[in-house]
């Protein structure tokens, strides 16, 4: 096997691992979403339960939540999310909505429900997007970050 063949085999393996990681990330995001949905349902049941049962359920939920509390995001994770947002904006035609971006971030990173709105507010301040209406934004194709990424995509 030549060095080139070995290098190509390694590239294929890296590509396979990246695809697997992406699949695992999607599965994790779906699992977290389902878990949050079930937790919300349980929380809505608490008020109608007898007093002792309410307390027991709250304690059980608290015990389950403790191991799932995520550590603070590292700078690398924040950078990954910001890069994903910049790529998303560069790939957008003209307008984006906070809901669409939120779905993208939740699927990819398991981001919380307000993450897209917070990020888009910052992007307005940076001039990357212009707020058209609540939750609706127009992408500024002339912003250097957007323009550079669009060139790299096309």
pLDDT tier, 79 (very low <50, low <70, confident <90, very high otherwise): confident
> Does the pLDDT of residue 76 top 50, yes or no?
no
Using a 10 angstrom Cβ sphere, with 0-12 exposed, 13-18 middle and 19 or more buried, the burial of residue 97 is: middle
pLDDT tier, 129 (very low <50, low <70, confident <90, very high otherwise): very high
Separation CA 99–CA 31 (nearest Å): 20
Q: What is the dihedral of CA 40, 43, 45, 48, to 10 degrees?
A: -150
59 and 119 in contact (C-beta within 8 Å)? no
The top-level CATH class assigned to 75-153 is: mainly alpha
From-to residues of CATH 1.10.10.10 in the chain? 75-153
Instruction: Report helix, strand or coil for 94.
Output: coil
80 and 109 in contact (C-beta within 8 Å)? yes
pLDDT in tens, 30-40: 988 888 888 88
The model's pTM: 0.50
Instruction: Report helix, strand or coil for 4.
Output: helix
Give the strand pairing for 95-97 and 129-133.
unpaired
> Does the pLDDT of residue 10 top 80, yes or no?
yes
Q: Which two tokens stand for residue 126?
A: 């940076």
In this prediction, residue 33 carries a pLDDT of 85
Q: Which two tokens stand for residue 57?
A: 């359920």
pLDDT tier, 4 (very low <50, low <70, confident <90, very high otherwise): very high
């Amino acid at each position: 096997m030549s060095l080139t063949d070995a290098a190509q085999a390694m590239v294929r393996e890296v590509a396979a691992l990246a695809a697997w990681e992406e699949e695992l990330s999607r599965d994790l995001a779906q699992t977290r979403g389902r878990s949050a949905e079930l937790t919300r349902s349980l929380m809505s049941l608490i008020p109608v339960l007898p007093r002792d049962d309410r307390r027991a359920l709250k304690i059980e939920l608290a015990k389950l939540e403790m191991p799932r509390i995520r550590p603070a995001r590292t700078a690398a994770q924040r950078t990954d999310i910001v890069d994903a947002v910049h790529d998303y904006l560069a790939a957008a035609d003209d307008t984006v909505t906070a809901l669409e971006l939120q779905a993208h971030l939740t699927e990819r990173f398991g981001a919380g429900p307000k993450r897209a709105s917070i990020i888009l507010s910052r992007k307005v301040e940076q001039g990357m997007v212009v707020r058209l209406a609540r939750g609706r934004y127009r992408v500024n194709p002339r912003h250097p970050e957007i323009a550079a990424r669009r060139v790299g995509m096309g």
